[in-house]
Structure 1
Amino acid sequence: MNIVQVDSVNKHVYENLYQGYAAEFSKLIADKPDENGRFKIYPQLAGQVVGYLLYIDGVPAALTAIKEQSHAEYEICDFYVVPYFRKNKVGKRFITSLFKQLLGAWEIKQVAGADHAVSFWRDVVNDYTSGAYLEDKYQDEVWGLVTRQRFSH
């Protein structure tokens, strides 16, 4: 398992993996590809938003985009594990490594209807915090009704 930050050399890898992620959630967020068959990447990796790629045996297996809202306050904007790699807790190990690297306050949101994502994040955050986290639902200005987990460490 090798985690690397997205930069100009590997940005195309992130963009390629993102297409699978966007397609998977397209029905839930009413998104469709453009005339070239590509989904828009949101948010863009720039400024406060940093991307990370997970490689397993040299193969890109997952991505995440993390926004540092202010010093040591992070939001997971995107998180995707290629279906082939969704075993052996790959996603959990990936994000747990980043939690340990980027200490601070965290916020994770899941759109309505993404029940598998809600279950995944509850499991990850509950294990990581030993149950010391907050969860609520609220009306997000961009995504509508979301489930949200928050914790600090």
Structure 2
Amino acid sequence: MDIQVVKVNNDEKEILQNLLELYCYEWSQYNKLDVNQFGSYEFAVLDCWTEKNHYPFFIKVDGKLAGFVLIDKDFAVRKDCDFAMSEFFVMHKYRTAGVGKYAAETIFDMLHGKWEIMCHPKNIISIYFWNKIIDEYTNGKFELIKSCQEVVYQEGTFADFFFFET
């Protein structure tokens, strides 16, 4: 299996938008968002090519799209961080095959510094994934803040945060 993390080009904006629809659909079980009158989710991240300090990547497996990673510097809690994992999505077909682990570690190897990763506590799979990946990557040198009172999701749940350095 050939896994790649590749930068999204400006002319691939529509491809990312299509993947964002899948991501938003999956996320709706946690954030309880509805589609708009056109039957799609509104996701305002598609200017990440023109905004400073935004880094969009596709995850590909054997040349096929398998997900995406969006990194930025829009920190929710600690302003002294260098990178925030804005969105991380691996399609179901590629989960439990090491694709997410490879993608996360590749991103961490590419972008060295202090990281902030926010998770919805009801997304138990995500919490487990990030706890395992970050613990292994940092040899246990990370901080997890559960139910951070500073950040609340739209449906009223307090966010969990991982902080670590690569």
Contact 1:21–1:80 under 8 Å retained in 2: yes
Please give the TM-score of this superposition, normalised by the length of structure 1: 0.91
What is the aligned partner in structure 2 of residue 152 from structure 1?
165
**Displacement after TM superposition at 1:15 (Å):** 1.0
Aligned-partner residue type, residue 123 of structure 2: A
Match of 1:127 among 113, 122, 136: 136
> Is structure 2 residue 86 aligned with structure 1 residue 73?
no
Taking only aligned residues, the RMSD between alpha carbons, in angstroms, comes to: 1.8
Aligned positions, number: 153
Moved over 3 A (4+): 42-45, 69-72
CA distance in 2, matches of 1:111, 1:140: 13
Deviation at 1:11, TM superposition (A): 1.6
Q: Which 5+ residue runs of structure 1 have no aligned equivalent?
A: none
Q: Secondary structure at the match of 1:10?
A: helix
In structure 1, the partner of 2:66 is: 61
| 1:43 Cα deviation from its structure 2 partner | 3.5
Percent identity between the aligned chains?
22
Q: Which residue of 2 aligns with 1:29?
A: 31
Aligned partner letter, 1:103: H
Task: State how far apart, in whole Å, the 1-side matches of 2:47 and 2:68 are.
Answer: 12
Change (3 A) 1:54 1:130: same
TM-score by length of 2: 0.84
Residues 20-77 of structure 1: per-residue CA shift (max 9 Å, x gap): 1111111211211112221111434421322110111121001111113589700001
Question: Which runs of no fewer than 5 residues in structure 2 stay unpaired?
Answer: none
Q: Is the 8 A contact 1:107 1:149 kept in 2?
A: yes
The one-letter code of the counterpart of 2:54 is V
SS state at 1:112 partner: coil
Which residue is equivalent to 2:4?
A: 2
